[in-house]
Amino acid sequence: MLERPRELGRKIPALASEFHVNARRRQAHGSPPPLPNLIGSSVLARRGREASARRPLVAPGLPLHTRACAPLQRHLAISPAAIAVDTAPILITGGAGFIGSALVRHLVLERGLAVVNVDALTYAGHRRSVAAAAESPRYAFERADIADAAQVEAIFRRHRPRAVIHLAAESHVDRSIDWPAPFVHTNVIGTFTLLEQATRHWQGLADSGRDAFRFVHVSTDEVFGALGSEGRFTASSPYRPNSPYAASKAASDHFARAWQHTYGLPVIVTNCSNNYGPYQYPEKLLPLVVRKALAGEEVPVFGSGLQVRDWLHVTDHVHGLVAALERGAVGETYLFGGDAERTNLDLVGLLCDLVDELADDRLPGAAPRRTLIRHVTDRPGHDHRYAIDASPTTKSLGWQAQVSLLDGLRETVAWYLAHADWCEHVLAGRYDGGRLGQGIAA
């Protein structure tokens, strides 16, 4: 039996911040200061553009995650000479989830920036996803429900962040069909509460702090509804959400824009296509298929499997979010897509082939794992196609997806095969791999 998501319990007191203590310790002992606040750093951006014209976009021979971040690093021309002291952290909500943890790891471990990770640690959020970053003195964690105004206010007061990147959300469409209430609570009420407290914090900053502050609201292309066989979503596409999840995210987008228009909060909105990569909770399509194919279990495909999705590697998305934070214009919307459309059936077949290629064991009789694919009853209201036109974002921010779908899938499958212990840990007592998204649960 599937476990019904736990009801929200009593609020857990947030942990105290160590940032200012750590900053003083670093200065006292002559330790290198953290990297600078690069928001609005036009000089570095200009140098990066000049450098990028002379250098290859991707450094051959490096691991995928290192290669994927190279274009952004070169665009910004980060160097030891550019380092300056700035201890104010970036507040990331949902930083123990899939995309959030990738962003935390990037900012703390690769960029050397201070981060406050605010996460409720619901079923899909896990500290193990940020374990390496948590070893850094530049990292702080606050366990909190973003819909709790008192908790959020206290976090802003303790840490006084210079920016917010808001990723905390219930995000699994199938769960929203079965249990929509948590999606309204976190995605709508939580976003509203966060915007209120961020506005109060921003209004209390000195002039320079107010000018530099940004609130990056992270959303999905599902708010735009379904596409036909032609066309792509743009920032001007009308909102037509079709699932409870998409409706809750659409509401959060509207709240974010309303706070910018009404109260002046410097908001930037982003929408992305389907993400994939390491540390994704195993209820999602890619890790679910990999685990079932590896175990020799039936691999479910909803309906005909001809629904089309555009796939974006999470490291590319992370670099896009950083670009939006540092170079995005207040009030603008930026779309991030991978330019990698595939039908669900094609994608599942490719994943089965990659498991055959990379796994140590074989099915009985050396049968290909594609033979495990089974078509099951379709999801209610299943959208046919999503696709993003990211060319305006490329023009505005200098961002472009760098990870090819085949390379990204191969490394992602290899990661899940090598980290079965992580999957077992995060699944324990939470999800048994069964069917979700069949209707309101009793």
Sheet holding 115-119, edge to edge: 139-143, 115-119, 90-93, 163-166, 214-220, 267-272, 333-336
Those residues with Cβ within 8 angstroms of residue 304's Cβ, 6 or more apart along the chain or in another chain: 345, 375, 378
Phi, psi of 428 (to 5 degrees): -55, 115
pLDDT tens, position by position, 278-313: 999 988 899 999 999 999 999 999 999 999 999 999
153 part of a folded domain: yes
What whole-number distance in Å separates Cα of residue 399 and Cα of residue 316? 9
Mapping DSSP onto H, E and C, the string for 171-213 reads CCHHHHHHCCHHHHHHHHHHHHHHHHHHHHHHHCCCHHHHHHC
pLDDT grade for 8, boundaries at 50, 70 and 90: very low
pLDDT tens, position by position, 142-201: 999 999 999 999 999 999 999 999 999 998 788 889 889 999 999 999 999 999 999 999
**Amino acid at the residue 89:** P
What's the confidence (pLDDT) of residue 366? 85
Beta-bridge partners for 164 = 91, 215
Query: pLDDT above 90 covers what percent of the chain?
Result: 68
Quick one: average pLDDT of 377-393? 90
Cβ-contact 151, 144 below 8 angstroms: yes
Map tokens 């939006």 to a residue.
324
Number of H helices and number of E strands within the chain?
17, 12
* DSSP code of residue 233: B
> Strands 333-336, 373-376: parallel, antiparallel or unpaired by DSSP?
unpaired
Map tokens 């009801």 to a residue.
7
Is the model more confident about 110 or about 361?
110
Nearest to 348 by CA among 403, 401, 284, 404: 284
**Where in the sequence numbering do the catalytic residues fall?**
221-222, 245
Residue 320 has pLDDT above 60, yes or no: yes
Is the model more confident about 105 or about 438?
105
Kindly give the residue spans of alpha helices, DSSP state H, lying in 215-313. Answer: 244-263, 285-295
- pTM for this entry: 0.79
Residue 215 has pLDDT above 90, yes or no: yes
What whole-number distance in Å separates Cα of residue 272 and Cα of residue 170? 15
319 part of a folded domain: yes
What whole-number distance in Å separates Cα of residue 57 and Cα of residue 71? 5
Those residues with Cβ within 8 angstroms of residue 299's Cβ, 6 or more apart along the chain or in another chain: 289, 292, 293, 348, 352, 369, 372, 373, 374
Task: Write the CATH number for 172.
Answer: 3.40.50.720
What whole-number distance in Å separates Cα of residue 201 and Cα of residue 214? 12
pLDDT tens, position by position, 17-69: 333 334 334 334 333 333 333 333 333 333 343 343 333 333 333 344 444 44
Residue 73 has pLDDT above 90, yes or no: no
Cβ-contact 270, 324 below 8 angstroms: yes
372 part of a folded domain: no
**Cα atoms in the 13 Å half-sphere on the side-chain side of 348:** 27
What whole-number distance in Å separates Cα of residue 277 and Cα of residue 413? 8
Residue 226 has pLDDT above 70, yes or no: yes
Distance of CA 168 to the CA centre of its chain: 9
368 part of a folded domain: no
What's the confidence (pLDDT) of residue 423? 86
* DSSP code of residue 8: P
371 part of a folded domain: no
Quick one: average pLDDT of 257-261? 99
What whole-number distance in Å separates Cα of residue 378 and Cα of residue 407? 29
439 part of a folded domain: no
Asked which of 67-71, 283-287, 358-362, 425-429 is least confident by mean pLDDT, the reply is 67-71
Cβ-contact 234, 390 below 8 angstroms: no
As a whole number, the mean pLDDT across the chain is: 82
52 part of a folded domain: yes
Phi, psi of 300 (to 5 degrees): -80, 140
291 part of a folded domain: no
Q: What is the dihedral of CA 430, 174, 129, 154, to 10 degrees?
A: -90
Range of the domain at 47: 19-280+313-342+381-403
> How many domains in the chain?
1
Is the model more confident about 298 or about 124?
298
Quick one: average pLDDT of 335-351? 97
Measured from the Cβ of residue 367, the count of other Cβ atoms closer than 10 Å reads 12
What whole-number distance in Å separates Cα of residue 179 and Cα of residue 243? 12
